[in-house]
């Protein structure tokens, strides 16, 4: 059943959009790969429907969003969007079960894993490389790990203090209780820092997953990416265009998926329906700079050569949880085979939300990380919902963005 979310007077369509009217389409398939998120996929449908209502009101369009349906094999959650003469099938490719198996980790796993991982990242030079390519991002990631280690020390100190306060007649037996008491205190502190503003367990576990994946220690991901690749490959020719969106950690998982599609079908994207890959909130160097991620760098380089797949990288310098500096191949110490890949779309925060909302949201890391997926408060700024449901082909944006001026985004970098 379609839920009509808005019908407002026409407004806000740019002259450039009008100029592309001859290249409009009537059908689209979007495959969306979420980031490291354990939530049920219906959460994303709820976000999409809510933000579509806002986009429709501001852009002067009727946008109808259907109820979501899980596939029989449980691999995806899909819904249909109808807007301005275009029918878009939006398919969320699911891997939240893999995330749940690794987040939250047990506190014992973190205690064992964090020091070992930090030592490896520092010893190999990775930490310095990541800071060079994404200073804000590395500040958040390593800052959160510093907070975690500080909480471990605080737990030990509190447990030790409690032991010292025990009656003298019981000494030194209370010292034996320090480790279990400290562990219990740490468990409580982890619960307190699970959400805003620190997100300590989430970011520590996400980091552990990323580097375990780089080293080939997440075997359950590979068959899932193969299944995603088969889904995407089967969609060619089923609509006027096919779009694959990789958000956050799926900016690198999406590239692996597209590489698998092309490995099985080198002509994919070169016949009929245009195919585009959109990386948004990208963290490609987070994985690609890890010396252990040789397989991913090979896939990234192959995808860099695949000109038949248009690649758009949507960048937001105000997003602390993305890496948005130079070309992602160059950032991973590779020589980009095509200087026009990816086409860059720089987005200012003022394209999305007003000054009052900026001040209220800018320190909520995950709110800002998802902002690019939400409706724009501007009638002509970047709007993900408009891009994914409107009559202008997404692949046209790649062509228009090759010479995109990043100075607009740079002016926002101080946020």
Q: What is the pLDDT of residues 386-406, one digit of tens each?
A: 999 999 999 888 777 654 544
Lowest mean pLDDT among 81-90, 143-152, 344-353: 344-353
Cα 259 to Cα 9: distance, rounded to the nearest angstrom: 43
pLDDT tens digits along 231-259: 999 999 999 999 999 999 999 999 999 99
Q: What percent of the chain has pLDDT over 70?
A: 91
Q: 194, 214, 234 — which closes off a domain? A: 214
Residue 9 has pLDDT above 70, yes or no: no
- Tokens, residue 313: 């990288």
Mean predicted confidence (pLDDT) in 201-219: 97
The whole-number average pLDDT for the span 265-289 is: 95
Mean pLDDT of 357-363: 77
Assess contact for 12 and 60: CB atoms under 8 A: yes
More confidently predicted of 274 and 340: 274
Considering the domain architecture, whether residues 182 and 288 belong to the same structural domain is answered as no
Of 204-213, 217-226, 279-288, 346-355, the poorest mean pLDDT is in: 346-355
Give the pLDDT mean for 59-82. 96
Burial class (CB in 10 A: 0-12, 13-18, 19+), 406: middle
Q: Which of 102, 63, 134 has the alpha carbon at shortest distance from 332?
A: 134
- Give the β-pairing of 76-83 and 86-93: antiparallel
Which of the two residues, 207 and 412, has the higher pLDDT score? 207
Would you say residue 221 has pLDDT above 70?
A: yes
In this structure, what CATH number is given to the domain that contains residue 391?
3.40.50
283 lies in the same domain as 391 = yes
Residue 8 has pLDDT above 70, yes or no: no
pLDDT-based confidence at residue 23 (cuts at 50, 70, 90) = low
Same domain, 258 and 282: yes
- pLDDT tens-digit readout, 135-190: 999 999 999 999 999 999 999 999 999 988 887 767 777 788 999 999 999 999 99
Reported as a pLDDT band with limits 50, 70 and 90, residue 6 is very low
Per the prediction, the chain carries an average pLDDT of 89
Q: Are residues 169 and 236 in the same domain?
A: no
Q: Which domain holds residue 314?
A: 2-99+220-410
- Residue 133 placed within a domain: yes
- Specify the number of domains making up the chain: 2
200 and 257 inside one domain: no
300 — pLDDT class (breaks 50, 70, 90):
very high
If asked whether residues 379 and 249 sit together in one domain, one would say yes
**pLDDT given at position 199:** 92
288/235 same-domain check: yes
Roughly how many angstroms between the first and final C-alpha of the chain, as a whole number? 41
Mean pLDDT of 67-94: 97
Query: How much is the pLDDT for 402?
Result: 58
């Amino acid at each position: 059943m379609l839920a009509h979310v808005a019908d407002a007077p026409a407004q806000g369509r740019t002259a450039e959009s009008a100029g592309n009217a001859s290249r409009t389409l009537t059908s689209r398939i979007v495959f969306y790969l979420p980031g490291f998120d354990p939530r049920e996929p219906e959460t994303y449908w709820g976000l999409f429907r809510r933000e579509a209502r806002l986009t429709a009101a501001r852009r002067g369009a009727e946008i109808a969003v259907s109820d979501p349906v899980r596939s029989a094999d449980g691999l995806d959650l899909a819904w249909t969007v109808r807007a301005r003469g275009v029918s878009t099938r939006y398919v969320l490719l699911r891997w939240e079960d893999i995330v749940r198996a690794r987040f939250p980790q047990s506190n014992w796993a973190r205690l064992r894993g964090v020091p070992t991982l930090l030592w490896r990242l520092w010893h190999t030079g990775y930490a310095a490389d990541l800071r060079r390519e994404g200073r804000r991002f590395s500040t958040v990631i390593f800052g959160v790990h510093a907070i975690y280690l500080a909480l471990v020390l605080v737990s030990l100190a509190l447990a030790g203090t409690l032991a010292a306060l025990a009656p003298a007649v019981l000494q030194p037996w209370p010292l034996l209780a320090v480790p279990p008491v400290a562990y219990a205190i740490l468990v409580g502190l982890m619960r307190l820092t699970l959400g805003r503003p620190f997100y300590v367990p989430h970011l520590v576990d996400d980091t552990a997953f990323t580097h375990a994946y780089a080293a080939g220690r997440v075997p359950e991901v590979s068959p899932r990416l193969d299944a995603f690749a088969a889904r995407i490959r089967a969609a060619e020719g089923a609509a006027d265009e096919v779009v694959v969106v990789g958000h956050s950690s799926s900016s690198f998982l999406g590239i692996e998926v597209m590489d698998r599609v092309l490995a099985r079908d080198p002509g994919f994207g070169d016949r009929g329906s245009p195919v585009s890959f959109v990386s948004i909130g990208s963290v490609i160097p987070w994985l690609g700079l890890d010396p252990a991620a040789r397989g991913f760098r090979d896939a990234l380089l192959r995808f860099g050569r695949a000109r038949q797949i248009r690649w758009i990288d949507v960048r937001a310098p105000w997003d602390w949880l993305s890496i948005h500096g130079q070309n992602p191949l160059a950032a991973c110490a590779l020589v980009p085979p095509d200087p026009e890949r990816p086409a860059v779309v720089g987005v200012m925060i003022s394209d999305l939300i007003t000054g009052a909302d900026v001040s209220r949201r800018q320190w909520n890391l995950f709110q800002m990380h998802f902002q690019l997926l939400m409706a724009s408060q501007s009638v002509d700024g970047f709007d993900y919902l408009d891009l994914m449901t409107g009559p202008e082909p997404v692949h046209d944006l790649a062509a228009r963005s090759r010479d995109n001026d990043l100075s607009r985004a740079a002016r926002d970098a101080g946020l």
